[in-house]
Amino acid sequence: MASPIEELKTAIRQALPDLDMVIAWTAGPDSLSHTPLFITDAADIERIEWDSRCSQNLAGYLTSLRGKKVGIVAKGCDARTIVELLQEKLIDREDVTIFGLHCQGAVDARKVRTELKVGRGVQGVTIDGGAASFAVNGETQTARLGQVLQEKCFRCTGADAEVCDHFIGEHGQPPQVDDAPVSTLDMLEAMGMEDRLHFWEDQMTKCIRCYACRSACPLCVCQDHCAAQSRDPHWVDQTDHPREKLMFQALHALHTAGRCTECGECERACPMDLPIMTLKQALNRQIKDIFDYQAGTDPDKTPPLFQFREEEEHIKERKW
Amino acid sequence: MLAARYITTDKLVPWLLSLSESRLVLAPIRKGGQTVFQPLEADSELDLDGLATSSPKAALLPRCETLLEFHYSKGEEAPSRTSVEVRETLHDQPTFLFGARPCDVRGFTVFDRVYDAGSKRDIYYCTRRDNTLVASLACTDPAETCFCHRVGGGPGDSTGADLLFTFIGDGYVVEAVTDRGNDFLLSQTLHDAGDRVETALKTREAVKAAMPEGEPLLGAPEQVNKLFDDQPFWEDVSAKCLSCGACSYLCPTCYCFNMTDEMHGNDGVRVRTWDNCMSFQFTLEGSGHNPRAAKAQRMRNRIGHKFNYYPALHDGNLACVGCGRCISHCPVSMDVREIVSKAQTRAMAEEEQIND
Ligand code: SF4
Ligand code: SF4
Ligand code: SF4
Ligand code: SF4
Ligand code: SF4
């Protein structure tokens, strides 16, 4: 049987003539990072890469390509983003062709670089059971998954792209990690309010205000008109105070409440390693409790904050 | 002959801490998963393994610098008349910047040509520059994304520094580069380096020789210039870019700024903050028109500024020092080397077509 990557290439080769482009991944500028590839020419299909270094959530490009026929390669979490975009009517189902994959987990290139000191010459990454192995200059180096996976993968709710047009390879489970580090959210929820504020203020001293977190978020659609940089209204000032930066994070989190699929792009894009997906996870927990809703799971549902109901099932308004 | 001294690895942090009694000592410090330049304290975790995440440019050009403070008050006799008091805020604390890499320090010379240019002297920048002694650390283990050697620098380059540190196994050879670096070194009770200077030189040469070959990107200005109107080219190379700006905020040579007044009640500050050509607001005019509204135009600006407009104004010096941060920290792994190489190839191909 063909390997998943060969099967993927074959499927794309067949579909490409009817599409304007296909978005996939290819080898990146260093051996731990793969990078998006926009395929319009069949010759580029040979350049496709697919392994645990394919981190980017390519679904973020779909809204800007609306009106075109686009093929897209998607992991489990990426497909949840696509579902959310469909629910919000930001993209059209008939224009998107989804090549769904089973994902073994995505490695965090920074963790690998700094903790394992593996940097140069990685030729391949495979995940099997509780370990990741790196083919480095003809030798194999292994690590426990708890050391190298991205934060989001520890709580993956489904590693297969559930909604797709072509499923490549075999269905499977999310990575099995028995030594996942305590999540930042659990750590914070065990702390008092004062300490939580100190935690965030300390984190925010590192923020350089590049807004990569926002630009990388596939659900941030205001983009060029973001409140963070607007002088009118003037929500956030430009001084370097941690509370101003936290104010922006609060804005971002609230704008994605009930929409965020925990794809992790905000956190992965942050060059300063701020654990900002935690803020969205905290809101998602609330949304789950109040509305029993999880973003990105059902294309036919309407996100709870997009609709008005006279009476909510879990909110008791009329006690008397 | 300028001074050269030697310090063993175990003495380095105590020595830096002793310096911090009389000045601000900025050094690459591990914070969470990243390494940033911060004031060194007794419990700081110094990280000299590789390039810091953010460049040390904030030492000279802070992310947010208060240019002046102001206060409005109403006249007692005629309340309709307000007066404003203005106070300047120059930062002149003596600073020792330790552990910056040769590329980063070369980046300061990119700023110098702009902020310290004869009559156009920016006092905020120049005051910080004059009060900062710059000690760089030669690289012994360049990363895959490093390309200083393709843009006029090198892993042991000392351009822009006052002192150059080289690690030689059990300690550091410290060589003076400028007169003020020399004066400073002579005032310190460090060992004499003796023939270790020779070892340091050999180490630097060996590291440079081991860097992978790559075409120099120095001839790029005319070629990038030729592509100014080539819309498909810029659309192609910017397709995957998110316009986020992480690249230019981390870049040791990006120096564009924004200026705003931030008021709280009757008190306010005028601040200068980093700006970034990848953002829509960068050239947004008051009329609402933006001459660089599309992502491709912004990318053209970023590459153009570094490899075309700046060198055209400053004797061919590029405004890229090859640190590779814009590559290794780009969320979609854009590669500036690839863009410039593509520009070179494309411009040459167009030239051949014309000649045919
Ligand atoms: S969250 Fe799940 S689907 Fe997404 S990268 Fe991690 S393991 Fe794969
Ligand atoms: S990506 Fe990180 S550094 Fe940039 S604005 Fe967001 S939190 Fe701050
Ligand atoms: S907020 Fe972060 S985790 Fe949520 S959808 Fe946006 S990028 Fe993904
Ligand atoms: S960091 Fe990358 S994605 Fe962001 S603006 Fe720069 S090149 Fe574009
Ligand atoms: S353009 Fe990129 S490689 Fe060049 S100096 Fe700036 S961050 Fe470094």
Q: What spacing in Å lies between the alpha carbon of B281 and ligand 3's midpoint?
A: 23
Beta bridge partners of A280: none
Q: Which residues of A188-227 are buried (b: 16+ CB within 10 A; e: fewer)?
A: beeeeeeeeeebbeebbebbbbbbbbbbbbbbbeebeebe
B36's CB contacts (< 8 A; 6+ apart) are A206, A272, B28, B29, B52, B53, B54
Measure A113 CA to ligand 4 centroid, in angstroms: 21
Give the least confident one: A66-80, A123-137, B19-33, B299-313.
Answer: A123-137
The whole-angstrom distance between A309's CA and the closest CA on chain B is 37
What are A283's two structure tokens? 């809101």
Out of A187-201, B206-220, B231-245, which region has the weakest mean confidence (pLDDT)?
B206-220
Length of chain B: 356
Q: Is the pLDDT of residue B351 over 80?
A: no
Could you tell me which of A59, A118, A52 has the C-alpha nearest to residue A91? A59
Total domains in the fold of chain A: 1
Residue A244 within a domain:
yes
Please name the member of A120, A214, A272 whose beta carbon is closest to the beta carbon of B34. Answer: A272
**Residue range B29-40: mean pLDDT, rounded:** 91
Q: Which of B141, B153, B136 is nearest to B49 (CA)?
A: B141
B48-86: burial string, b at 16+ Cβ within 10 Å, e else: bebbbbbbbbbbbbbbbbbeeeeeeeeeeeeeeeeeeee
pLDDT at B122 over 70: yes
Over residues B89-106, the pLDDT tens digits come to 999 999 999 999 999 999
Residue A120 lies in a domain: no
* Residues across chain A: 320
Give how far B241 is from chain A: nearest CA, Å. 10
Task: Determine whether the shortest distance from the Cβ of A277 to ligand 3 is under 6 A.
Answer: yes
Residues 6 or more apart whose CB falls under 8 angstroms from that of A184 comprise A151, A275, A278
**How far apart are the CA of B165 and the centre of ligand 5, in A?**
23
Pairing relation of β-strands B163-167 and B116-117?
unpaired
Surface-to-core class of residue A236, CB atoms within 10 Å of its CB (0-12 exposed, 13-18 middle, 19+ buried): buried
pLDDT band at B356 (very low <50, low <70, confident <90, very high): low
Across the interface, whether the CB atoms of B143 and A119 are under 8 A apart is answered yes
Domain contains A272:
yes
Helix (H) or strand (E) holding B61: none
Question: What is the per-residue pLDDT across A242-272, written as a single tens digit (0 to 9) for each?
Answer: 999 999 999 999 999 989 999 999 999 999 9
Residues B34, A36: C-beta atoms closer than 8 Å: no
Q: Between A39 and A134, whose confidence is greater?
A: A39
Contacts of B62 in chain A (CB under 8 A): 240
Q: Which residues of A touch B239 (CB under 8 A)?
A: 38
Give the strand pairing for B163-167 and B132-137: parallel
pLDDT for residue B319: 96
- Per-residue confidence (pLDDT) for residue A237, from 0 to 100: 87
Which of B301, B174, B296 shows the shortest CA–CA distance to B248?
B301
Pick the residue whose CA is nearest to atom 6 on ligand 5: B251
Q: What is the pLDDT of residues B132-163, one digit of tens each?
A: 999 999 999 999 999 999 999 999 999 999 99
A83 close to A296: Cβ distance less than 8 angstroms: yes
Q: What is the DSSP letter of B266?
A: T
Cβ distance of B54 and A271 shorter than 8 Å: yes
Residue type for B258, please? Answer: N
Is it the case that residue B34 has pLDDT exceeding 80?
yes
Average pLDDT of the residues in B286-304 = 91
Q: Given an 8 Å threshold on Cβ–Cβ distance, is B63 in contact with A268? A: no
Q: How far is the CA of B330 from the centre of ligand 4 (A)?
A: 5
Q: In terms of residue numbers, what domain contains A269?
A: 182-319
pLDDT over 70, % of chain A: 98
Cα A227 from Cα A229, distance rounded (Å): 5
B203: confidence class by pLDDT, cuts 50, 70, 90: very high
- Give buried/exposed letters for A262-298 (b at 16+ CB in 10 A, else e): bbbbbbbbbbbbbbbbbbbbebbeebeeebebbbbbe
The answer on pLDDT for A129 being more than 90 is no
The Cα of A317 is separated from the nearest Cα of chain B by a number of Å equal to 39
The reported pLDDT for the residue numbered B221 is: 79
Looking at the domain assignment, is residue A171 inside a domain? no
Please give the span between the terminal C-alpha atoms of chain A, in angstroms, as a whole number. 66
In a domain, A260, yes or no: yes
pLDDT at A319: 64
B336 close to ligand 5 (CB < 6 Angstrom): yes
Residue B217, pLDDT > 90, answer no
Q: Angle A221-A225-A229 (CA atoms, 0-180°, nearest 5)?
A: 120
Q: Is residue A233 part of a domain?
A: yes
**What confidence tier does B344 reach under pLDDT thresholds 50, 70, 90?**
confident
> How far apart (Å, rounded) are the C-alpha atoms in residues B105 and B162?
10
Measured at the alpha carbon of residue B247, what is the angle toward residues B246 and B252, in degrees to the nearest 5? 115
Choose which residue among B234, B243, B340 to substitute to test ligand 4 binding: the one with the highest number of ligand atoms within 8 A of its C-beta: B243
The answer to whether B159 touches B106, Cβ cutoff 8 Å, is: yes
Q: Is the pLDDT of residue A320 over 70?
A: no
Q: Over 90: is that where the pLDDT of B172 sits?
A: yes
Whether A274 maps to a domain, the answer reads yes
How far is the C-alpha of A10 from the C-alpha of A112, rounded, in Å? 32
Quick one: tokens of B109? Answer: 């010379």
Residue type, A7: E
Considering chain B, what percentage of its residues have pLDDT values greater than 90? Answer: 78
A75 pLDDT band, cuts 50/70/90, is very high
Alpha helices by DSSP H, listed for chain A, are 4-15, 76-87, 109-111, 145-148, 184-189, 193-206, 212-216, 242-255, 265-269, 277-291
Virtual torsion, Cα B152, B155, B158, B164, nearest 10 deg = 180
- Evaluate: CB of A7 within 6 angstroms of ligand 3: no
Q: Looking at the predicted structure, is the pLDDT value of residue A217 above 70? A: yes
d(CA A13, CA A45): 7
Q: If you average pLDDT over every residue of chain A, what do you get?
A: 91
List beta partners, residue A99.
Answer: A73, A166
Distance to chain B for A29, nearest Cα, Å: 6
The DSSP bridge partners found for residue B36 are B29
Return the pLDDT at B80.
Answer: 77
User: Which pLDDT tens digit goes with each residue over B54-72?
Assistant: 999 999 999 999 999 999 9
Chain B neighbors of A265, CB-CB under 8 A: 331
Residues A87, A302: contact at Cβ < 8 Å? yes
Cβ of B143 within 8 Å of Cβ of A203? The answer is no
Q: Binning pLDDT at 50, 70 and 90, where does residue A115 land?
A: confident
Any domain includes A309: yes
Tokens of residue B289, six digits: 């028109």
Residue B280 distance to chain A (closest CA, Å): 6
Rg of chain A taking only CA atoms, in angstroms: 20
Q: Which ligand has the nearest atom to the CA of A132? A: 1
Q: Alpha helices, DSSP H only, in B116-258? A: 123-130, 179-186, 196-210, 220-226, 231-238, 246-250
| A61–chain B Cβ distance below 8 A for any pair | yes
**Contacts for B245 with CB less than 8 Å, ≥ 6 apart:** A210, A211, A212, A215, B276, B278, B279
pLDDT at A298: 86
**Residue A49 at interface with chain B, using a CB cutoff of 8 Å:** no
Comparison of pLDDT for B318 and B264, the residue scoring more: B318
Q: Which residue of chain A is at minimal alpha-carbon distance from B276?
A: A210
Chain A (202-261) residues lying within 8 Å, Cβ to Cβ, of chain B:
203, 206, 208-212, 214-216, 223-224, 229, 231, 237-240
Mean confidence (pLDDT) of chain B: 93
The pLDDT of residue A318 is: 66
Ligand 3 pocket mutation, candidates A261, A276, A287, criterion most atoms within 8 A of CB: A261
